Structure 1
């Protein structure tokens, strides 16, 4: 990734402590949605041509905000991949004329195989959630000096020759052959006897037409809490809409608006920092964590 701009005769700029100053010097970005949110007002960047997104699920509202600010002239690319698959396995240019609030990760790249499987490693039908698994020439053979973890996530490919990598991400096939990634498989909680995928709650919040640019769901003090940005989001309307859309057990106890979602040093959501925000006093719920089996 570091050598790509140099290969094409460009200049590589690594933003320092002042993110906005660093981004202002460039016309092509590659960053996480959390960093894009922290970049502030899109109109302050002159000459921006391309934004590449990766590392986290991209919300429809955030992509729409930046695309509209440039009157559709901004090339907005959503990417997906991991180090274990030599980074990229999917790419898509985000187009807002598709008539859907779902931001897909696009189609599988050449020399890559993508499978969406259930817990028994069987392929699931179109539209059904399962674990995204990747095969192909870019998949590594395992982790150095960690045979136990390697056995868990690197398997003989049951469908063709090679190795299969279990990403731990949930996703589904869309009818047109693209892939939608909902988020991590390991963000599951049990609330009043019901299993809840936190990524699904986040996805529903971001699909509402309330200008939610990012939503993060956590369990804090035995309560389901969703943090949203920006701070101007109408929390009451969001909660009312969720009540009419989701089962009662998936409706968050609290929705907390923030000007920006805190991020870690590598630009991803800082869930530990979010959990430290004070919550309003309310009755708690009986929530226990469950494993992924």
Structure 2
């Protein structure tokens, strides 16, 4: 009771996942492996050859089997060469987030013991972030045979680490999840949730630092398909992005839930050319799915669920008019191949059907543990009842529905999902206190879907409240990635306390809820008169989407709580109001509102 039956277990050889790619190279050497419409394209033979050069260059720099190798590259052919080359060298790749501050990157590199980082040629912006990491050798992807060493032939078994993916940590330090080859082999072999075949074209749109890239790259290459490098939905105007997906004949795509919601609202018919669309990262809105199904549905629309610790996907649910009939909330479905899912109580005993328990995952997809954190690993990775094999405790609260589908109902801890990112609120609170601008900080998530954001409260310091909030925001921006920055700080003179003298989190969260305005609230009041009609239009759009009434020419979009999804919405709205062609990146890269206005002022804007 409360346990899913074991899914079908396809048999496969238990070696490194790159050996499956080698089999594809032997079968179809001239097939296109990677296509970058804006850059280099590679056949399977060319990819394997260049990955061999990469492995040789790593060996020449002393990289040994099992060593972590940082990868600081954008999506593209070089990224795929680097990942495959590191696997061929027997090492483990550690992808870095391009948007993470230098301080966070340095901490990750030092904590993981990285000695070599693969970087882009001449990319000063990215390489500057590695300057404060002593002892790290930078290496570009070879464009030709480096001639230093023969291509290493390293024996790699399925327990060897393939990559290390970093997630937010409740201790204030990011956690490195060590994913072995067996986890990725399980993900891509005999996949029940998504069939990829030779000749298919898999879209590559994920941030390389996040585990959707694992599905995209290894799912395509092990199947003999073509990985097509695309901009994210947030990088282009939606019409141009959907046209590119159609023109490139993409058959398979994985979208974060937030991006899917964005497309479903603006263009529910835009995804109908896909054969398989996977959506994952947060709770999926059933109304958004129904809009897409009613407009122009893809051949298969799948709600995918899985934490990094279970190698990207652990359960899936096929979304159809029939499967959604009578439902008010979207389930995450059933275990995928070679995966066992349990719903257990605090003593790891199965709960009755319909009762709430903790979702736990077992099978070869379970990660090895957290790098350098044995105690945290022992708490989260426990023996599976009945088998003794490693089982991951997700912290997600779930229940089995009468029809056997699995539904997520909440969290057992203070971890939240925001726009596909997994965030430990305590990490933000610790970082805020570490700035020295406050003695206590409290962070909460408010709103759902596109309106979701982080809001925070802090104990007042000697500085005025506005100055305390400004200093906190500024210092945190250099320590945390943008998706972890609260959009609003409420400064408290005193802390509400419980009867036992502890901080009353429930009361503080009520204060935060009352202080946080929903996106779009009070637009007429939010539009400040900045003395310039163009500035006023831009500030009004920002205020509407970011839920703040105080915007000045010196404010920037990200510091006010903006992100790529909101930037997409803002660009669309500004384009409509001013009759200009503006991209989401223009908002994200502009240093402040005034500079954005100056850039647009050089165009022929039409003021409303």
State the TM-score, normalized to the length of structure 1: 0.62
Aligned pair partner of 1:42 in 262, 268, 275? 268
Aligned pair partner of 1:12 in 217, 227, 230? 227
Judging changes above 3 Å, is the alpha-carbon distance between structure 1 residues 14 and 35 closer, same or farther for their aligned structure 2 residues? farther
Residue 153 of structure 1 deviates from its aligned partner by 0.4
* 1:85-100 → structure 2 map (5 Å cutoff): 85-97=310-322, 98-100=325-327
* 1:60-71 → structure 2 map (5 Å cutoff): 60-70=286-296
Residue 173 of structure 1 deviates from its aligned partner by 0.8
With a CA cutoff of 8 Å and minimum separation of 6, indicate the structure with the bigger relative contact order: 1
| Larger radius of gyration between Structure 1 and Structure 2 | 2
* 1:68-147 → structure 2 map (5 Å cutoff): 68-70=294-296, 72=297, 74-97=299-322, 98-147=325-374
Structure 2 residue aligned with 1:51: 277
Judging changes above 3 Å, is the alpha-carbon distance between structure 1 residues 48 and 263 closer, same or farther for their aligned structure 2 residues? farther
* 1:1-293 → structure 2 map (5 Å cutoff): 1=215, 2-16=217-231, 17-18=235-236, 20=238, 21=241, 23-24=245-246, 25=248, 26-39=250-263, 40-44=266-270, 47-70=273-296, 72=297, 74-97=299-322, 98-187=325-414, 216=452, 221=490, 222-224=511-513, 263=563
Please tell me whether the aligned partners of residues 261 and 285 of structure 2 are also in contact (alpha carbons under 8 angstroms).
no
Please tell me whether the aligned partners of residues 217 and 227 of structure 1 are also in contact (alpha carbons under 8 angstroms).
no
Judging changes above 3 Å, is the alpha-carbon distance between structure 1 residues 155 and 263 closer, same or farther for their aligned structure 2 residues? farther
For residues 46-84 of structure 1, the C-alpha deviation after alignment (integer angstroms, 9 at most, x for no partner) is 6233210112221101211211111x5542101112232
Distance 2:397 2:364 in 1: 22
Instruction: Give the stretch that moved more between structures: 137-146 or 51-60.
Output: 137-146
Residue 188 of structure 1 deviates from its aligned partner by 8.3
Distance 2:455 2:346 in 1: 24
Residue 162 of structure 1 deviates from its aligned partner by 0.5
Distance 1:227 1:58 in 2: 23
Note the residue ranges of structure 2 that are not aligned, 5 or more in a row: 1-214, 417-443, 457-489, 491-510, 522-543, 547-560, 566-608
Instruction: Give the stretch that moved more between structures: 42-51 or 60-69.
Output: 42-51
State the TM-score, normalized to the length of structure 2: 0.32
Higher relative helix content = 2
Higher relative strand content = 1
Say which SS state the counterpart of residue 34 (structure 1) adopts: helix
Say which SS state the counterpart of residue 131 (structure 1) adopts: strand
Distance 2:269 2:400 in 1: 35
Distance 2:284 2:405 in 1: 15
Note the residue ranges of structure 1 that are not aligned, 5 or more in a row: 190-197, 206-212, 233-256, 266-293
Distance 1:82 1:64 in 2: 25
Distance 2:365 2:258 in 1: 27
